[in-house]
């Protein structure tokens, strides 16, 4: 995957040689023509992927037309100073730039989303493909997919809509791993912080927490599922529960940082009195000496996969539309204590 | 070896044509599987090495990176009793993928005594293999001991144990069951039970959480009396699920076999699928039974799982992987005739989250 940009471009005959098959088969497979078994086609696509093959008009330095990609983000994710989604957008814009692809950014109003109004990007005839970043309602997503005339991929969320390309981080597994780590460290009374109704990724993270708790038969208490905002667009704020748990699993790093502030205000020390974990590894800096235990979402990998998927769709390469789950890694930090080994 | 062994050498020795040898080694069709096996064996014995490809291509775990490597597949006798067909089939796919790469696969069925007494598989004891695939879950204790002692790349297929730092290839139980449960809801069902013992395996737990995700997203309460165990926790043997008095209109079954057993009981007592009760399940690997050809289920992509397993092992051989790597392979819903549409289902409005 990681090949220098100006190295000789990978050709179809490289793929053919790699798999010991004819160039015609490779060409048929990649352009979606008949004459190749589904199984072989998949192997060819996999090999093309791994070799970093990019079809004709997308090759570096090719003289063909410049590509334009539209990026759509809902306004409600851009509240506050720095947003996780802006971070993903920056990564994508930078990658696109390196490949001489221009990106248009459109911020979607909450109102447009509720009324089902089409984004302006749809009116722009220059656009070759659209990337939607951050969760939109199922209905709106479906409308985009069905009425859009250009290829589309959806980043950082997932909806149950067939034959659609979603690229997400592994919130379910990640949060499960974090919670398991707390349990291994000796914590038993563990709460979850996040609005389950807010987004599908928060629900996934909650279910990962729930799985880890259930498999050790630990009690799931309703009063220990704690909201982190009053309504969808509101500022993050966390109220401590009347009966305190030993640790909090938070749905994201920002929420964790606000919780830690709230804990301090109420005289609790982290990690001595209470353990805290986050998710997404978005906080670059320490919180007054606390390095948050979190799940490092590989934003660069997500950006790269998103853009590659969209480019292949634009080039009408045959491939199977599906959910792509990008795994991350656990960051242990020092926001909880190993009470027992 | 002074002189490189060529395809011609192998052809001469086997008294066959160079084309046949080439086809066999490249995994192309046109060679019988027995012939292919013999050619692979001879090639290995003669020390045949494929020509190095150009560097450009060397990053791919494609054909012939590790010819002649021996891959052991270990499966517990337990699974071959209850899930005979599924695991044999998975094993066959592994053999196919491996032979494409010029590798051999050796099978060992682990018996109860070996598991209880924590004895290593013979393949490991006798140094017969270069890599080990564990097909189907075993106890953590057994796996972590084996992992410490075996000293070769080890991979879990169709399950994962996060306490053991081995690579794993699993199907997507969480999203799979989420989709299957959604399908029921889109067909108007809201009284939906789950059939499966989620304490028994990590995969059943994932499928159960996927079921919960769908219900929660649609604001449907999870009723504990509708979550029903289908097997004994200790032995893993199937038990007759205790059906509730107040029956749901549909069941999400953790696997095809469980769905089939339930359907058989329901139909024996005069209830029909899907007219009286709808079923969805997981695997898409039912070869016989009352639900054969009728079950709406989530199809696990066995080919992709086998392919990924071999790929990951090769990456381990090449030292390309750092920590534990888990690959989740998506499958797809297969809609047949075990679900009845009882109403238009949920309204798909633009504000389902607002």
Tell me if B70-171+301-331 shares its fold with B173-299. yes
Angle, helices B84-100 vs B302-317, to 10°: value is: 50
pLDDT in 10s for each residue of chain B, 354 residues: 446 777 888 888 888 877 788 777 776 666 777 788 888 888 888 877 765 443 333 333 445 678 889 999 999 988 877 666 788 889 999 999 998 888 999 999 999 899 889 999 999 988 889 999 999 999 999 999 999 998 899 999 999 988 899 999 999 999 999 999 999 999 999 999 999 999 988 899 999 999 999 999 999 999 999 999 988 887 777 788 889 999 999 999 999 999 999 999 999 989 999 999 999 999 998 888 899 999 999 999 999 999 999 999 999 998 888 788 888 898 889 999 999 999 876 554 333 333
Question: Which of the four pLDDT bands, split at 50, 70 and 90, describes residue A45?
Answer: confident
Identify the pLDDT of residue A317: 67
Question: Which of the four pLDDT bands, split at 50, 70 and 90, describes residue A250?
Answer: very high
CA distance A268 to chain B (A): 32
Identify the pLDDT of residue B211: 98
Beta bridge partners of A131: A71, A153
Residues of chain A contacting residue B215, judged by C-beta atoms under 8 Å apart: none
Q: Give me the CATH topology for the region B70-171+301-331.
A: Rossmann fold (3.40.50)
A110 and A75 Cβ atoms separated by less than 8 Å: yes
Interface test with A, best of B7, B29, B57, B61 (most A CBs within 10 A): B57
Residue B353 has its nearest CB partner, among A50, A137, A170, at A137
Residues of B (23-82) whose Cβ lies below 8 Å from A: 26-28, 53-54, 56-57, 59-63
Checking ipTM against 0.85, whether it exceeds it is: no
Provide the whole-model pTM.
0.79
Q: For strand A225-226 and strand B70-76, is the pairing parallel, antiparallel, or unpaired?
A: unpaired
> Where does residue B285 fall: left (phi above 0), alpha (psi -120 to 50 degrees), or beta otherwise?
beta
Tokens standing for residue A93? 């814009």
Residue reference for tokens 């200790």: B234
CA distance B316 to chain A (A): 16
Flag whether pLDDT at A79 surpasses 90: no
Residue of A nearest to B328 (CA): A325
Residues of chain A contacting residue B27, judged by C-beta atoms under 8 Å apart: 20
Residues of chain A contacting residue B227, judged by C-beta atoms under 8 Å apart: none
Q: State how far the alpha carbon of A273 is from the alpha carbons of A61, A258, A340, in Å.
A: 58, 17, 15
Pick among 1.25.40.10, 1.10.260.40, 1.20.810.10, 3.20.20.140: CATH of B7-51: 1.10.260.40
What is the Cα–Cα distance from A132 to A154, expressed in whole angstroms?
Answer: 5
A229 and A254 Cβ atoms separated by less than 8 Å: no
For residues A123-143, average pLDDT: 89
Kind and range of the H or E element at B185?
helix B173-186
Lowest pLDDT segment from A71-75, A197-201, B105-109: A197-201
Sign of the CA dihedral B214, B220, B221, B222? negative
Residue of A nearest to B185 (CA): A160
CB contact (8 A) between residue B59 and residue A50? yes
A293 and A276 Cβ atoms separated by less than 8 Å: yes
A276 and A301 Cβ atoms separated by less than 8 Å: no
Beta bridge partners of A169: A326
Strands (E), chain B: 70-76, 104-110, 131-135, 154-157, 167-171, 192-195, 227-228, 250-253, 278-283, 296-299, 326-329, 332-334
- Residues above pLDDT 90, as percent of chain A: 42
Q: How far apart are the first and last CA of chain B?
A: 72
Backbone angles phi, psi at B111, to 5 degrees: -90, 170
Residue of B nearest to A12 (CA): B57
Domains of chain A plus CATH, in order, are 12-53 (1.10.260.40), 67-169+299-327 (3.40.50.2300), 171-297 (3.40.50.2300)
Question: Which of the four pLDDT bands, split at 50, 70 and 90, describes residue A7?
Answer: very low
For chain A, the helix, strand and coil percentages under 3-state DSSP, each to the nearest 5: 40, 15, 45
Residue B352 has its nearest CB partner, among A50, A139, A196, at A139
Identify the pLDDT of residue B84: 66
Neighbours of A96 (CB within 10 A): 21
Identify the pLDDT of residue B59: 36
CB contact (8 A) between residue A113 and residue B162? no
CA-atom Rg of chain B in angstroms? 24
Identify the pLDDT of residue A294: 96
For residues A189-213, average pLDDT: 94
Residue A172 has its nearest CB partner, among B174, B202, B307, at B174
Identify the pLDDT of residue B325: 86
Identify the pLDDT of residue A257: 92
Q: A330: Cβ–Cβ under 8 A, 6 or more apart, which residues?
A: A174, A177, A178, A181, A293, A294, A295, A296
B97 and B307 Cβ atoms separated by less than 8 Å: yes
CB contact (8 A) between residue B209 and residue A211? yes
What is the Cα–Cα distance from A252 to B176, expressed in whole angstroms?
Answer: 25
* Domain range summary for chain B, segments of one domain joined by +: 7-51, 70-171+301-331, 173-299
Nearest CA to A266 among A225, A230, A238, A236? A238
Residues of chain B contacting residue A325, judged by C-beta atoms under 8 Å apart: 172, 328
Q: Is A129 helix (H, G, I), strand (E, B) or coil?
A: strand
For residues A328-332, average pLDDT: 90
Residues in chain B: 354
- Specify the CATH architecture of the domain B173-299: 3-Layer(aba) Sandwich (3.40)
Q: How far apart are the first and last CA of chain A?
A: 39
What is the Cα–Cα distance from A89 to A81, expressed in whole angstroms?
Answer: 15
Identify the pLDDT of residue A218: 96
DSSP structure class, residue B53: P
């Amino acid at each position: 995957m990681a090949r220098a940009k100006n190295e000789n471009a990978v050709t179809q005959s490289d793929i053919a040689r790699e798999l010991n098959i004819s160039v015609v088969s490779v060409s048929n497979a990649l352009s979606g023509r008949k004459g190749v078994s589904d199984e072989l086609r998949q192997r060819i696509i996999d090999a093309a992927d791994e070799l970093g093959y990019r079809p004709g008009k997308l090759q570096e330095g090719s003289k063909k037309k410049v590509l334009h990609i539209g990026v759509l983000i809902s306004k409600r994710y851009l509240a506050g100073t720095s947003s996780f989604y802006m971070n993903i957008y920056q990564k994508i814009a930078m990658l696109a730039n390196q490949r001489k692809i221009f990106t248009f950014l459109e911020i979607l109003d909450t109102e447009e989303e509720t009324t089902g109004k089409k984004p302006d990007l749809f009116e722009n005839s220059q656009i070759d493909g659209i990337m939607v970043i951050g969760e939109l309602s199922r209905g709106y997503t479906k409308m985009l997919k069905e009425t859009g005339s250009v290829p589309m991929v959806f980043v950082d969320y997932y909806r149950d809509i067939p034959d659609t390309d979603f690229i997400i981080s592994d919130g379910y597994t990640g949060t499960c791993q974090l919670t398991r780590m707390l349990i291994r460290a000796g914590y038993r009374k563990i709460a979850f912080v996040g609005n389950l109704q807010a987004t599908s990724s928060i629900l996934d993270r909650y279910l990962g927490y729930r799985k880890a708790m259930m498999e050790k038969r630990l009690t799931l208490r309703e009063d220990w599922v704690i909201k982190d905002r009053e309504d969808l667009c509101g500022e993050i704020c966390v109220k401590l529960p009347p009966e305190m748990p030993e640790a909090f699993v938070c749905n994201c790093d920002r929420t964790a940082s606000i919780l830690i502030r709230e804990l301090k205000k109420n005289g609790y020390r982290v990690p001595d009195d209470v353990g805290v974990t986050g998710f997404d590894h978005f906080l670059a800096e320490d919180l007054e000496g606390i390095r948050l235990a979190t799940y490092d979402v590989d934003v660069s990998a997500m950006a790269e996969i998103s853009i590659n998927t969209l480019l292949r769709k634009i080039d009408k390469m045959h491939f199977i539309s599906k959910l792509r789950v990008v795994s991350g890694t656990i960051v242990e930090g020092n926001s909880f204590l190993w009470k027992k080994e | 070896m002074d002189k490189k062994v060529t395809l011609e050498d192998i052809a001469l020795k086997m008294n066959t044509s160079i084309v046949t040898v080439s086809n066999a080694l490249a995994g192309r069709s046109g060679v019988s599987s027995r012939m292919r096996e013999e050619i692979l064996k001879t090639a290995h014995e003669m020390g045949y090495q494929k020509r190095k490809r150009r560097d450009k291509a060397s990053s791919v775990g494609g054909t012939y990176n590790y010819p002649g490597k021996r891959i052991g597949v270990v499966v517990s006798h337990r699974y071959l009793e209850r899930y005979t067909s599924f695991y044999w089939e998975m094993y066959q796919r592994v053999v196919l993928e491996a032979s494409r790469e010029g590798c051999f696969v050796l099978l060992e069925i682990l018996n109860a005594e070996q598991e209880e007494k924590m004895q290593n598989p013979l393949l490991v004891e006798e140094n017969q293999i270069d890599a080990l695939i564990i097909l189907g879950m075993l106890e953590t204790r057994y796996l972590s001991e084996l992992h410490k002692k075996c000293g070769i790349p080890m991979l879990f297929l169709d399950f994962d144990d996060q306490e053991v730092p081995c690579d794993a290839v699993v199907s997507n139980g969480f999203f799979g069951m989420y989709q299957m449960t959604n399908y029921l809801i889109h067909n108007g069902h809201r009284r939906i039970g789950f059939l499966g013992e989620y304490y028994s395996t990590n995969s059943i737990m994932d499928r159960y959480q996927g079921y919960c995700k769908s219900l929660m997203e649609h604001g449907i309460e999870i009723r504990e009396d509708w979550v029903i165990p289908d097997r004994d926790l200790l032995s893993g043997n199937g038990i007759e699920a205790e059906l509730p008095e107040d029956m749901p209109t549909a069941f999400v079954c953790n696997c095809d076999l469980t769905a089939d057993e339930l359907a058989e009981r329901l139909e024996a007592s005069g209830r029909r699928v899907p007219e009286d009760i709808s079923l969805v399940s997981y695997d898409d690997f039912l070869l016989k039974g009352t639900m054969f050809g009728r079950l709406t289920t989530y199809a696990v992509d066995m080919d992709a799982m086998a392919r990924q397993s071999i790929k990951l092992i090769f990456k381990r051989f090449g030292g390309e992987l750092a920590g534990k790597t888990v690959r989740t392979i998506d499958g797809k819903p297969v809609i047949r005739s075990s679900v009845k549409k009882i109403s238009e289902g949920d309204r798909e409005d633009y504000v389902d989250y607002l």
